[in-house]
């Protein structure tokens, strides 16, 4: 059994990749952190690697490097090489969604991709960028399922209970706190502003989106904002963009837990991603699980995550008027049933487990010397 120390290990993404032939070791607890917190990971330290090299066979880094300086990561990589422990790096983000200035993060990528014995990523689009920038061939392992199995059918039931919306699409039921939309009969387009992190920037095209939604009979644009974020300049500026439009509803509520968020997404026909930069999106994957279609800016590798014609359309943030056509296409599409979506996810899960097992077995078989991909 190959012992894999994944950074992190307890994250749902990583746990979804568990399979025969290898085991993910528990996250080493950071000193002074509460139970269950894996960050900042002690494993990303040269001294820790040297002290614990006999406790693992492969180091696999996913997230959490932001807590380390470039010098610390360089030492971490050197310690792995000295102790003969191969490094696998999954490049989730080539542009970090939480940062405006990418320079420090790209220095980290230079170090990790350059030192890794195997590089994985989630899409062919990201793999092409890695090839062009670093001359490294990254293996593509698609994003795994995010929603629990039961949520697939529950989302379909929400849509059935709501009845058909306009066109061939369907409209889901209203959330309990959106009383202003209780009489809506058309489709719902949802946009979650959340905490307006660095890459959440819908300002250039929000008005165009609202106007495009308004051209569909009975359609409504529903903006979700966490109460903790209200009053912030970015949130309020976004809301000013669409103030006075009668078909726009603002739902201000406490930050929802995962279950409540899934119900919000299931209550929309289309979820709009407000991202100005980034590479891959877990939000997009959750929408796929729930059968909620996605309209996304044509940045990063979002368009490479799924190519099913029912699911996703892109628009250019530099051409707000271009939102209307892809939105219309999504509002006349319908998701496949939960059973088909689940089977597709299970097929990907089997492929991903095989890919990880093959990667780990190859690197352990290489012995202490290691080798780049």
Which residues, in sequence order, are bridge partners of residue 251? 224
Q: What is the spatial distance between Cα 57 and Cα 15, in angstroms, rounded to a whole number? A: 18
Query: Is residue 352 in a domain?
Result: no
How far does CA 226 lie from the centroid of its chain? Answer: 19
Are residues 189 and 234 located together in one domain of the fold? yes
Q: What is the pTM of this model?
A: 0.91
Distance separating alpha carbons of residues 154 and 169, to the nearest angstrom? 17
For residue 236, what are the domain limits? 149-338
Both 45 and 95 in one domain: the answer is yes
Cβ neighbours for 136, distance < 8 A, ≥ 6 positions apart: 113, 116, 119, 130, 372, 373
Domain boundary among 84, 105, 140: 140
| Longest distance between any two alpha carbons in the chain, whole Å | 67
Joined together, the tokens standing for residue 174 give 């209203």
CATH of residue 46: 3.40.50
- The pLDDT tens digits of the residues spanning 56-80 come to 999 999 999 998 999 999 999 999 9
In a domain, 351, yes or no: no
| Sign of the dihedral defined by the CA atoms of residues 257, 263, 266, 272, in that order | negative
pLDDT at 373: 38
Separation CA 211–CA 245 (nearest Å): 8
Give the domain-ending residue among 112, 140, 168.
140
Helix (H) or strand (E) segment spanning residue 76: helix 70-83
User: Is residue 161 located within the same domain as residue 226?
Assistant: yes
- Please count the structural domains in the chain: 2
Are 125 and 221 members of one domain?
no
Distance CA 311, CA 269 (A): 10
Q: What is the pLDDT of residue 163?
A: 62
On whether residue 119 sits in a domain, the answer given is yes
Instruction: Give the C-alpha separation, 185 to 30, whole Å.
Output: 51
Closest CA to 224 of 244, 197, 251: 251
Residues 114 and 40 in one domain: yes
DSSP letters for 264-318: HHHT-SEEE--BSS-S--HHHHHHHHHT-EEEEES-TTGGGT---TTTEEEE-TT
For position 181, what pLDDT does the model report? Answer: 39
Cα gap 53→284, rounded to integer Å: 37
Q: Are residues 178 and 37 in the same domain?
A: no
d(CA 49, CA 73): 12
Kindly compute the dihedral angle of the four CA atoms of residues 34, 38, 42, 44, in this order, to the nearest 10 degrees.
Answer: -160
- 224: domain CATH number? 3.40.50.2000
In a domain, 361, yes or no: no
Domain shared by 316 and 197, yes or no: yes
Task: Note whether 236 and 309 are same-domain residues.
Answer: yes
Q: Which helix (H) or strand (E) holds 24?
A: strand 22-24
Instruction: Classify residue 232: in a domain, yes or no.
Output: yes
Is the domain of 133 the same as that of 190?
Answer: no
What angle (nearest 5°) sits at the alpha carbon of residue 311, between those of residues 309 and 316? Answer: 90
Q: What are phi and psi of 333, to 5 degrees?
A: -105, 165
Tokens of 151: 């949520």
Q: Looking at 166-292, which runs of residues are DSSP E strands?
A: 188-194, 220-226, 248-253, 270-272
Instruction: Give, rounded to a whole angstrom, the gap between the first and last alpha carbons of the chain.
Output: 23
Same domain, 178 and 305: yes
Decide: helix, strand or coil at residue 162.
helix
CA-closest candidate to residue 219, choices 242, 249, 241, 192: 249
Within this chain, do residues 22 and 46 fall inside the same structural domain, yes or no? yes
Q: What does DSSP say about strands 87-91 and 58-61: parallel, antiparallel, or unpaired?
A: parallel
Decide if 281 contacts 275 (C-beta within 8 A).
Answer: yes
Tokens of 150: 């039961």
Residue 55, classified by CB atoms within 10 Å of its CB into exposed (0-12), middle (13-18) or buried (19+), is exposed
Whether 100 and 345 have beta carbons less than 8 Å apart is answered as: no
List of the chain residues with pLDDT < 70: 163-184, 231, 366-373
Quick check: is 212 in a domain?
Answer: yes
The H or E element spanning position 312 is: strand 312-315
Extended beta strands in 115-183, E state = 118-121, 139-140
220: in domain: yes
One domain for residues 253 and 313:
yes
Yes or no: say if 335 and 311 are a contact pair by the CB < 8 Å rule: yes
């Amino acid at each position: 059994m190959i012992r894999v120390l994944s950074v992190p290990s307890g994250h749902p993404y990583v746990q979804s990749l568990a399979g025969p032939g290898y085991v993910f070791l528990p996250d080493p607890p950071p000193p002074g952190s509460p139970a269950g917190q894996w960050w900042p990971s002690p494993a990303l330290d040269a001294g820790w690697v040297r002290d614990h090299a006999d406790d693992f066979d492969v180091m696999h880094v996913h997230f959490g490097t932001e807590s380390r300086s470039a010098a610390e990561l360089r030492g971490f990589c050197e310690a792995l090489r000295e102790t003969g422990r191969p490094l696998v790096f999954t490049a989730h983000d080539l542009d970090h969604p939480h940062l405006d200035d990418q320079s420090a993060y790209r220095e980290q990528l230079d170090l990790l991709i350059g030192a890794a014995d195997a590089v994985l990523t989630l899409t062919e689009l990201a793999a092409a960028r890695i090839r062009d920038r670093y001359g490294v061939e990254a293996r593509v392992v698609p994003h795994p399922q995010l929603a629990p199995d039961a949520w697939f059918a529950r989302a379909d039931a929400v849509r059935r209970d709501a009845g058909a919306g306009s066109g061939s699409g369907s409209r889901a039921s209203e959330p309990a706190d959106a009383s202003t939309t209780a009489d809506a009969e058309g489709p719902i387009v949802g946009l979650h502003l959340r905490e307006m992190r660095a890459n959440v920037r819908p300002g250039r095209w929000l008005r165009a989106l609202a106007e495009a939604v308004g051209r569909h009979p009975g359609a409504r644009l529903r903006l979700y904002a966490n109460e903790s974020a209200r009053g912030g300049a970015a949130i309020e500026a976004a809301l000013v963009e669409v103030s006075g439009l009668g078909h726009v509803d603002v739902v201000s509520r406490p930050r929802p837990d995962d279950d409540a968020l899934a119900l919000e997404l299931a209550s929309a026909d289309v979820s709009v991603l407000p991202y100005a930069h980034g590479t891959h999106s877990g939000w997009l994957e959750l929408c796929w699980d729930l059968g909620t279609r996605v309209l996304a800016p044509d940045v990063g590798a979002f368009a490479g995550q799924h190519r099913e014609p029912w699911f996703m359309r892109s628009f250019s943030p530099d051409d707000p008027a271009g939102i209307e056509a892809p939105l219309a296409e999504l509002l006349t599409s319908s998701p496949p049933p939960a059973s088909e979506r689940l089977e597709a996810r299970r097929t990907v899960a089997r492929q991903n487990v095989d890919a990880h097992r093959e990667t780990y077995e190859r690197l352990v078989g290489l012995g202490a010397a290691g080798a780049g991909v």
